[in-house]
Amino acid sequence: MSNDTLTIKFSTYPGVSGSKIINSSTYYVYVLDNNDGDAPEPDYEFVSVPGRTGDLTFWNGRYKNKQITYKCICDNNARTNVPSFFSALLAQPGQARLEDTLNTTYFKKGIYIGNTTPRFSDGGKRATFDITFNCQPQKWLLAGDTETNCTTGTYNFTNPSSFPSYPLFRMQKSSVSSTGTVTIKHLNASSDQFVLTDDYGHSTQYVYYDSETQDAYIPAFNRNVNSTVTKTGSSGRICFQGGNSTRVTVAGGMSNVYITPRYYIL
């Protein structure tokens, strides 16, 4: 009998309350296996040109979503617990964080899209079935999901992955009138790549800056502050380069800065 479990966490933006957590073991549901060992498919376009041997190839700069299927078993009162488990999943639409004990080094992000018909046995006490999620291609490393306190001075982040990560910044200014800055420099570069400036002049509440979506917001006020939190320097998104180190320097005007690097593999 498997003891592996699946934890499904439905949540909103970082810093916003309202998460709903579903643990499969609550419903006596356990995971036997999944297909997460498959690599995602790179997104290429192939165009055939009359009179030319071979296709034109276009790389769209991304990897496609993949469907992850968990093979499950329920070993207690399955005729009641399995429908209850399905109902719990259906009651929380949208993207969820998926953590299972088959692999404890990373988590996935996906949307529940359905299940197979349960196969009951032992008078309805037991059942086996599959559940499927449409998932982002990334495997988000738990090592990159921890906040680092970078309140003063200089800090180095070393990305263990081959892929660039797009960190989450949580910043608090020392006073309403101050201007806080965070400088980001890849250690193999000759100069600073990015300067993140927080000039929000109405509060010292924590400001979040998501470098993946390039959005700045204050969860406490449910307010977007892109107009007062600015990024200057290199074009593109702030990133920690894959396989390299990045130096982060916190200048005056900040009382607290926390960074979640968000490393991933494929």
Which three-class secondary structure state does DSSP give residue 167? Answer: coil
pTM: 0.86
pLDDT for the residue numbered 195: 79
* 86 DSSP 8-state letter: H
For residues 71 and 62, what is the distance between their CA atoms, to the nearest angstrom? Answer: 28
pLDDT for the residue numbered 179: 78
Q: Where are the domains of the chain?
A: 6-137, 144-265
Helix%, strand%, coil% for the chain, nearest 5: 10, 50, 40
Q: Are 59 and 44 in contact (CB under 8 A)?
A: yes
Instruction: Supply φ then ψ for residue 44, to 5 degrees.
Output: -110, 150
From 12, 48, 5, 56, select the one nearest 27 (Cα to Cα): 5
pLDDT for the residue numbered 174: 79
How do the pLDDT tens digits run along the chain, 266 residues long? 567 888 888 765 565 555 688 999 999 999 999 998 888 999 999 999 999 999 999 999 999 999 999 999 999 999 999 999 999 999 888 889 999 999 999 999 999 999 999 999 999 999 999 999 999 999 999 999 999 998 777 889 999 999 999 999 998 887 877 777 888 887 766 666 677 776 666 667 888 999 998 888 888 787 888 888 888 777 778 888 888 888 888 877 788 889 999 999 99
For residues 25 and 40, what is the distance between their CA atoms, to the nearest angstrom? Answer: 29
pLDDT for the residue numbered 143: 92
Tokens 């993946």 found at? 212
From 5, 53, 54, select the one nearest 28 (Cα to Cα): 5
Q: Which CATH architecture has domain 6-137?
A: Beta Barrel (2.40)
CATH 3.40.50.620 matches 144-265: no
CB crowding 182-218: b at 16 or more within 10 Å, else e: bbbbbeeeeeebbbbbbbbeeebebbbbbbeeeebbb
pLDDT for the residue numbered 7: 87
